[in-house]
Chain A
Amino acid sequence: QTVVTQEPSFSVSPGGTLTLTCGLSSGSVSSSYYPSWYQQTPGQAPRTLIYNTNTRSSGVPDRFSGSILGNKAALTITGAQADDESDYYCVLYMGSGIWVFGGGTKVTVL
């Protein structure tokens, strides 16, 4: 059973920088898992932020960036703003048409 791990919660001050990570319970995340990131506010559908590790989706500001840090995928938000307060999900493509989501990270900006 593959488990994708994310920090449950994160707090950041306005203007600050935070890095969320996406790991595997067993093994390392690499670009071969095509990590993608999604932002979701309560009651709304997810919004695509990053795909293929580090490519921003159309219309996503450049203060959102993706990378591989060590053995995890990472989403970095620089210059955090109040409307960045959301849940953030990563998903990894496991091959053979199968994806697995992480549990999500609740980001608070205060």
Chain B
Amino acid sequence: EVQLLESGGGLVQPGGSLRLSCGASGFTFSSYGMTWVRQAPGKGLEWVSGISGSGGGTYYANSVKGRFTISRDNSMYTLFLQMNSLRVEDTAVYYCAKIRGWGSDWYFEIWGRGTLVHVS
């Protein structure tokens, strides 16, 4: 069974840093792009960042560019999101998702349950 499990969320002060992790199982991790999507309290979904299967391509929303860094360790089946210079508006549940069809279908096939980041 394909599973994604986020961790690393918590309470952090504005200007602080946090590193999120997403552990994957049930599929060949290196064969798939991965992404982070967030949802502020009571708000909609916002795409944050994506990374290719090899890790050679990384992509960011303008709202986090220069502050967040996405990376992956394919040997450990783990996706990361390093978040620096955090702002109150970064408060959200952060979901990781498996991208299916990199180069073809371009969609988010499987989602984790999310981890809450609270900047205050």
- A-side residues, CB < 8 A to B, are 1, 34, 36, 38, 40, 45-48, 51-52, 55, 57, 87, 89, 91, 93, 96-104
Residue B107 CB within 8 A of the other chain: yes
Residue B32 CB within 8 A of the other chain: no
Q: How far is the CB of B1 from chain A (nearest CB, A)?
A: 12
Beyond A45-B114, A51-B107, A98-B59, whether A38 also contacts B100 by CB under 8 A is: no
Query: What residues of B have a CB within 8 angstroms of the CB of A47 in the complex?
Result: 111
Residue B91 CB within 8 A of the other chain: no
B: number of interface residues (CB 8 Å)? 27
Contact of A89 among B44, B50, B57, B113 (CB under 8 A): B44
Query: What residues of B have a CB within 8 angstroms of the CB of A34 in the complex?
Result: 101, 105-107
Query: What residues of A have a CB within 8 angstroms of the CB of B104 in the complex?
Result: 52
- Does the CB pair B59–A48 fall under 8 Å? no
- Does the CB pair B44–A102 fall under 8 Å? yes
Of the A-B pairs whose beta carbons lie under 8 Å apart in the complex, a sample of 8, sorted by A's number, is A34-B105, A34-B106, A48-B109, A51-B109, A52-B101, A98-B61, A100-B47, A101-B47
